Amino acid sequence: MTPVRVLAVASEVYPLVKTGGLADVVGALPAALKQYGVTTRTLVPGYPDVLKALATAETLLHWPEFYGGPIRVLGGTHDGLDLFALDAPHLYARPGNPYVGPDGRDWPDNGIRFAALSRMAAEIGQGAITSFVPDIVHAHDWQAGLAPALLHYAGQPRPGTVMTVHNLAYQGQFSPDMLTAFGLPGESYALHGVEYFGGISFLKAGLRFADRITTVSPTYAKEIQSDEGGMGLGGLLRERSGVLSGILNGIDISVWNPATDPDIAARFSAEQPAERAANKAALQRRFGLDPAPDAMLLGVISRLSWQKGLDLLLEVIPTILREGMQLALLGSGDRDLQDRYAALARDNPGRIAVVIGYDEALAHLIQAGSDALVVPSRFEPCGLTQLCALRYGAVPIVSRVGGLADTVLDFDEVAITGDAPTGVKFAPVTSDALAHGLRKANLLFNDKVTWRRLQQAGMATDVSWHNRAGRYAALYRELATTRR
């Protein structure tokens, strides 16, 4: 097995900086790749929490001027992850959310902040750090999207490049006046370059110039090649379909392990599922829900955004109440949705409970204590919460889109394949179809033997990175070989 060296580039990495699943993926994939002979270093911005974690790290580069100020690149290890941090105080020394300031708006210099990240990836790709010259530069999402373009324009020799789309809805669009400031050559401002509807798109840059494109599920790989799912980039993705593939995400099964989880009330396993009941009681207590062991308890853990379809869930609250179900929701995001959920909880004490915020430990308790986890997304590149739910015996109720379609098996499908069903899927993504899915789930829930079987099949599903990382390893190796 030829060893392969990969420089991963991303704006988030669990457990240091996280706003969503991107961080989980970037944080977990490197460990799973090791067994395939792939060595990864992950380049991230030197946000305050990253620098704190790398306090004893080595300084590998020190440049007096880089995108408006002096920078260092630090190399160190945290929690088994080998990191490079771009320490650029003028760009990243800001606490809190990595993208938005205290006023809730994107930082006005986000273009420069992530052009700098991408440029550093390109520099390392071309040998700036002699102790680690990668065979592959792997860019995650728009924040790293300029890296493949900058490497392309820098000319040969260069490493192979991979662009992974975690969410096509975030494209990193900026004014064309910024071209030079971003470090892009004049010729790149063209239809076959980084130009996008009169501006510059970082994601388009990555999709245009990367040697390989991946996204996080096979179904999403198809959806993004359509006009609707392509969100403006469908044509380019169709053109590049020969190098585009979908590789499902896994989850870190040591972080998400109900047999050892320190954040839940009682530990359990597929062999000993009885303790789930204690978690359900704890979850009901924690959320102030009625202590009703026989009411089906629905859990939601989500960003509150249009993508996630949680406005549809609001519309079916009458169904939830009529069916005698309970709802425990943890989420943050759109003000309007936050307010509507908070009001709903006030109006329905004991039945509907809501925690607005971001709380990693509480997410674990919801997975352990809810009977079913609802994910009614309008689109979902992969989705990780339904994978955690499978592992924790919370039966997923999901819309039939993207990675949700690929990771949950409904009764209707397995009639053909003979597999064991693991959840309930509904389509199309409307409140009527969701209400139907919830009613169907409640019927199944009231048939204890069937429900137990659903839970067992879910808990037996392989949601780990083990095999999925092998797909990335094969892709890297194939690309590294063709470029050697």
* Residues contributing to the site for ligand ADP (CB under 6 A): 20-22, 24, 301-303, 330-332, 358-360, 363, 382-385
> Which span (178-186, 311-319, 379-387, 469-477) binds ligand GLC, by CB under 6 A?
379-387
Q: Does 382 bind ligand GLC (CB under 6 A)?
A: yes
Near ligand GLC by CB under 6 A: residue from 6, 21, 367, 451: 21
Tell which positions 287-346 bind ligand GLC, by CB under 6 A: none
251, 465 Cβ separation under 8 angstroms: yes
**Which of 127, 221, 104 minimizes the C-alpha distance to 168?**
221
Of residues 73 and 388, the one with the C-beta less far from ligand GLC: 388
> Which span (14-22, 224-232, 420-428, 444-452) binds ligand GLC, by CB under 6 A?
14-22
Of residues 20 and 234, the one with the C-beta less far from ligand ADP: 20
The C-alpha atoms of residue 433 and residue 397 are separated, in whole angstroms, by 11
**Which of 303, 301, 284 minimizes the C-alpha distance to 292?**
284
30 to 20, 56, 123, 218, 253: CA distances (angstroms): 18, 21, 21, 21, 14
55 to 49, 76, 197, 418, 436: CA distances (angstroms): 10, 9, 43, 53, 53
> Which span (20-28, 52-60, 193-201, 406-414) binds ligand GLC, by CB under 6 A?
20-28
Q: Does 380 bind ligand GLC (CB under 6 A)?
A: yes
Of residues 60 and 203, the one with the C-beta less far from ligand ADP: 203
Q: Does 210 bind ligand GLC (CB under 6 A)?
A: no
The answer to whether the bond into 428 is cis (omega within 30° of 0) is yes
| Helices of type H across 393-430 | 402-407, 411-417
* Binding at 358: pick from ligand ADP, ligand GLC, none (beta carbon under 5-8 Å per type): ligand ADP
Binding-site residue total for ligand GLC (CB under 6 A)?
14
Supply 468's token pair: 């999925």
Q: Does 143 bind ligand GLC (CB under 6 A)?
A: no
The C-alpha atoms of residue 339 and residue 91 are separated, in whole angstroms, by 33
CB of 328 to ligand GLC, least distance (A): 21
The C-alpha atoms of residue 166 and residue 164 are separated, in whole angstroms, by 6
Q: Does 206 bind ligand GLC (CB under 6 A)?
A: no
CB of 403 to ligand GLC, least distance (A): 6
329, 354 Cβ separation under 8 angstroms: yes
The C-alpha atoms of residue 73 and residue 60 are separated, in whole angstroms, by 5
Longest dimension (CA), the chain: 68
Which residue is closest to ligand ADP by CB?
21
Mask 166-195, x = binds ligand GLC (CB under 6 A)? xx----------------------------
CB of 378 to ligand ADP, least distance (A): 12
* Binding at 216: pick from ligand GLC, ligand ADP, none (beta carbon under 5-8 Å per type): ligand GLC
CB of 310 to ligand ADP, least distance (A): 11
Q: Which helix (H) or strand (E) holds 356?
A: strand 352-356
Provide the CB-side half-sphere exposure for 80 (13 A, CA).
13
**Which of 387, 462, 473, 406 minimizes the C-alpha distance to 162?**
473
Near ligand GLC by CB under 6 A: residue from 5, 15, 20, 178: 20
DSSP class of residue 230 equals T
DSSP class of residue 251 equals B
Q: Does 123 bind ligand GLC (CB under 6 A)?
A: no
Number of CB atoms found within 10 A of residue 469's CB: 22
> Which span (91-99, 240-248, 293-301, 375-383) binds ligand GLC, by CB under 6 A?
375-383
Q: Does 25 bind ligand GLC (CB under 6 A)?
A: yes
CB of 328 to ligand ADP, least distance (A): 12
CB of 377 to ligand GLC, least distance (A): 8
Of residues 106 and 347, the one with the C-beta less far from ligand GLC: 106
The C-alpha atoms of residue 50 and residue 13 are separated, in whole angstroms, by 9
169 to 11, 165, 232: CA distances (angstroms): 16, 10, 10
218, 407 Cβ separation under 8 angstroms: no
CB of 179 to ligand GLC, least distance (A): 28
Of residues 22 and 147, the one with the C-beta less far from ligand ADP: 22
Catalog residues that contact ligand GLC under the rule CB under 6 A.
20-22, 25, 166-167, 216, 249, 380-384, 403
